Amino acid sequence: ELFLSRQIGAMAARVATVAVWQGKCLPPTWEATLIEAKETAARSSQSGAEVLLFPELFACSYDQSLSKKEVYESSRCLQSEELKAVSALAKEFKLCIGFPYPERASEPGSMLVYNSCAVFSAAGEIVANYRKVQLFGDWENSCFEAGCECYDSCFDLPLSSGICIRCGILICFDIEFPEPARCLAMQGGAELLLVPTALGHEKVKETTPCRVLPTRAVENHVFIMYSNFEGSFAQKNGGTAEFCGLSAILAPNAEELARADTTVSDEPKLLTATLKLDCHYDDNIRRNPYLTVASKHWEDGLYRPLASANPTESRGPAREKLAMDALHSST
């Protein structure tokens, strides 16, 4: 059942051109965000792209000096006028748009904010709204509520050409864990992962776009769109944030269909690539059937220990750190 839609789709030889934005963090206003979104949507449409992705918290910038109150003030509900403006852009340019933003909870009186990514179809309809589950660092954990989506919650993204792509969303730190991507592929049937990020400029952090992402693509037979900021950004408190760029579009065999570098440009970059959805998938599943083998192993119970695994009972540095954290929190 997992692969039925792909096998049927292979008869139609689906092809789609996609685009990923990379540039400097914008001024933290909705006005600046929507101006850049419109200009980029126009460029993407002219290039023939049918799907466009922006980086994590593209709306109002990834500024770790903002207080929880300031983050709340910049947040918007999914049904807000600002998000309706993005919907109108998708419809105007017949372009699917992955739009990350600070999402204000719609419940009356709630002060909750989520690190979210809304996805609009080429008809301007909201087809998905994912809330980041794996929040990173003190700032995110103090300003945002973690999402509780199941990692099998994929969605069908209808393109202007008439074809559909089975998609999943992970935001930044989410992709650094193997389980979420595997769940999206095995249980959700994902073919394409949309991964907005705000990754800093440190040598160790470049491991994620250059090593982790290709691994996720190969082991799950998925395409990946990965959008990051580049260069330095003057934060509100006078500090400076650095982003490493290295946005990419990857094929299921880890081939880099498009890759940005770490250089900083005056104008935002727009990476584009053509996804041969069925050809890549069929070739890779024949070469290395990870998902079919993994599915059988689950049925046979070989991975049952994972369901009851407790990292505090494992050996090594991880256990020691957790024990020390628990000790400090109790004193």
Active site residues: 56, 132, 172
Contact 168, 117 (CB under 8 A): no
The DSSP secondary structure of 26-88, one letter per residue, reads PPSSHHHHHHHHHHHHHHHHHTT-SEEE--TT-TT---TT--HHHHHHH-B-TTSHHHHHHHH
Q: What are the φ and ψ backbone dihedral angles of 43, each rounded to 5 degrees?
A: -60, -40
Residues 6+ apart with CB under 8 A from 146: 131, 132, 133, 134, 135
- How, if at all, do strands 113-120 and 96-104 pair? antiparallel
Enter the tokens of residue 35.
Answer: 């101006």
Number of H helices, E strands in the chain: 12, 14
Contact of 252 with 80, CB cutoff 8 Å = no
| Cα distance between residue 211 and residue 75, in whole Å | 33
